[in-house]
Homo-oligomer: A and B are copies of this chain.
Amino acid sequence: MNTKQLKLADLAKLAGVSTSTVSRALNDNPLIKKETRDKLKLLAKQHNFSLNTAASRLRSQKTNVVAVIINFDSGTEQSINDPFLLKVVGEINLALNKQGLELLLSNSFMAGDDWANYFINSRRADGIIVVGQGKDPANIEAAANAGVPLVVWGDPKTPSNYPIVGSDNFVGGRLATEHLLAGGAKNIVFLGDPGHAEIGERYRGYLAALNTANAIAHVVSIDITSSAAYHGINQLLVAKGLCFDGIMACSDMVALGAMKALKERYISIPNDVALVGFDDIAMADVSHPSLSSIKQNTQRASVLLVEKLLAQLQGQSAESQVVEIELINRQSSKG
Contact B121 A48, beta carbon cutoff 8 Å: yes
A80 sits at the interface (CB 8 A): yes
Contact B282 A226, beta carbon cutoff 8 Å: yes
Residue in B86, B122, B226, B288 whose CB lies within 8 Å of A87:
B86
Q: A86-B87, A109-B97 are in contact. Are A103 and B104 (CB under 8 A)?
A: yes
Contacts of A310 in B (CB 8 A): none
List the number of copies, as a whole number: 2
**Cβ-closest chain B residue relative to A86:** B86
Q: A1-B146, A54-B63, A122-B51 are in contact. Are A253 and B286 (CB under 8 A)?
A: yes
Shortest CB-to-CB span from A50 to chain B, Å, is 4
Number of interface residues of A (CB under 8 A): 64
A195 sits at the interface (CB 8 A): no
A57 sits at the interface (CB 8 A): yes
- The complex places the Cα of A230 from the Cα of B48 at a distance, in Å, of 46
Contact B97 A110, beta carbon cutoff 8 Å: yes
Q: Is the interface of A mostly helix, strand, loop or mixed?
A: helix
Shortest CB-to-CB span from A249 to chain B, Å, is 12
A52 sits at the interface (CB 8 A): yes
A271 sits at the interface (CB 8 A): no
- The complex places the Cα of A55 from the Cα of B63 at a distance, in Å, of 12
- The complex places the Cα of A117 from the Cα of B94 at a distance, in Å, of 21
**Cβ-closest chain B residue relative to A55:** B58
- The complex places the Cα of A57 from the Cα of B5 at a distance, in Å, of 16
Shortest CB-to-CB span from A103 to chain B, Å, is 5
- The complex places the Cα of A294 from the Cα of B147 at a distance, in Å, of 48
A130 sits at the interface (CB 8 A): no
Contacts of A311 in B (CB 8 A): none
A93 sits at the interface (CB 8 A): yes
Contact B256 A226, beta carbon cutoff 8 Å: no
Residue in B5, B147, B264, B286 whose CB lies within 8 Å of A1:
B147
Contacts of A5 in B (CB 8 A): 121
Contact B107 A97, beta carbon cutoff 8 Å: yes
A105 sits at the interface (CB 8 A): yes
- The complex places the Cα of A264 from the Cα of B109 at a distance, in Å, of 44
Contact A54 B91, beta carbon cutoff 8 Å: no
Contacts of A79 in B (CB 8 A): 90
Residue in B54, B117, B122, B230 whose CB lies within 8 Å of A286:
B230
- The complex places the Cα of A302 from the Cα of B110 at a distance, in Å, of 17
- The complex places the Cα of A147 from the Cα of B58 at a distance, in Å, of 26
Shortest CB-to-CB span from A60 to chain B, Å, is 9
User: 18 other contacts beyond A52-B58, A54-B54, with CB at 8 A cut-off?
Assistant: A1-B116, A1-B146, A1-B147, A48-B117, A51-B122, A52-B123, A54-B58, A83-B83, A83-B282, A86-B86, A89-B105, A94-B109, A102-B110, A103-B105, A103-B106, A104-B105, A253-B282, A253-B286
Nearest first, the 7 closest Cβ-Cβ pairs linking A and B are A1-B147, A80-B90, A54-B57, A86-B86, A50-B122, A54-B58, A50-B121
A and B contact pairs by CB, cutoff 8 A, 10 listed: A1-B146, A54-B54, A54-B55, A55-B123, A80-B90, A80-B93, A81-B87, A83-B282, A102-B124, A264-B288
